[in-house]
Amino acid sequence: MLEKSYAKVNIFLKITGIKEFNGKLYHTLNSRFMLVKNLYDTVEFVPQKCETFTIEGMDIPKEENIIYKAYKLLNEYTGDLDILEFFYNHKVVVNKKIPMGAGLGGGSSNAATFIKMVKKVCNLKISYEELAEISSKIGADIPFFLYGYSSANVSGFGEIIEEYKEKSLDLEIFTPKLLCNTAKVYAAFKDNFLDETFKEAGKEYLNRSSEEILKTAKKPHDLNDLYRAALLVYPELKQYENFGFFSGSGSSFFKIKGS
């Protein structure tokens, strides 16, 4: 069994505040997520006897791997022994094409694809609404990828997903050889820019098409509140900003092809 695991970009990303969730403080946001259909990893379940849960193709310690975290989450939440049995007899193989630390959601997309595949092969009696709610504990972008919308308005901690029907854009993406640490970028935002946020931030974009939003904005910081924070942590990003707009916590820039 093999499935594609698509990248995304944030057409806009506005921080609306900070709240407690599961005992921790998280930033809240308004954003537009759009799938990038020409950039994807693949996730495959390959028959093989395995003494422990086995992942190949990702150069990350297993305990830190978001797919492994998704596996543990499903086990703990469902208690379904079919999941344990299946992964005694299959390994997970990931073919990575989405750069890591690039603001393109590769890890969250992988986890969501894995969860959907497990739901199918193990016939889990659990709704996507439930899966979105529990998976947001391990990755704020996972709910968007679970629903599989081409475009959606995303709010709250990332768990509120509303499909936005529009034409897909032919996007060109540039990712410098720089891995941005999401936690460090958000920490820089909290320490330097949090007092500038307001709860209505980004609402003016929610009913506008992604094409219109991109064609009327000028600079990365116009649409992405995290860009200034990312520059504090990674000042070298400044040399790339003329390429286009900034996705997530970086490091990728994107634009409509030909613009």
Instruction: List, for residues 163-188, the tens digit of each pLDDT value.
Output: 999 999 999 999 999 999 999 999 99
Task: Please determine, looking at this structure, whether the domain spanning 2-163 carries the CATH number 3.30.230.10.
Answer: yes
Nearest to 106 by CA among 157, 180, 210: 180
**Which tokens in the block code for residue 187?**
């920490």
Active site residues: 8, 141
Inter-residue contact 109 to 145 (CB < 8 Å): yes
Predicted local confidence at residue 23, as pLDDT: 67
Provide the pLDDT confidence category of residue 21 given band limits of 50, 70 and 90. Answer: low
Tokens 């997309």 -> residue: 109
Taken in order 28, 227, 166, 218, the sign of the CA dihedral is positive
Structure token digits, residue 180:
């941005």
Q: Which residue in the block uniquely carries the two structure tokens 């640490």?
A: 181
Structure confidence by residue, pLDDT tens digits, 217-252? 988 889 999 999 999 999 999 999 999 999 999 899
pTM: 0.92
> What mean pLDDT is predicted for residues 43-71?
94
Under 8 Å between Cβ of 46 and 230: no
Q: Label the pairing between strands 90-95 and 55-56.
A: parallel
Helix, strand, coil shares of the chain, percent, nearest 5, are 40, 30, 35
Element (H, E) at 49: none
**H-only helix segments in the chain:** 66-78, 81-88, 106-121, 128-135, 142-147, 182-192, 210-216, 220-223, 226-233
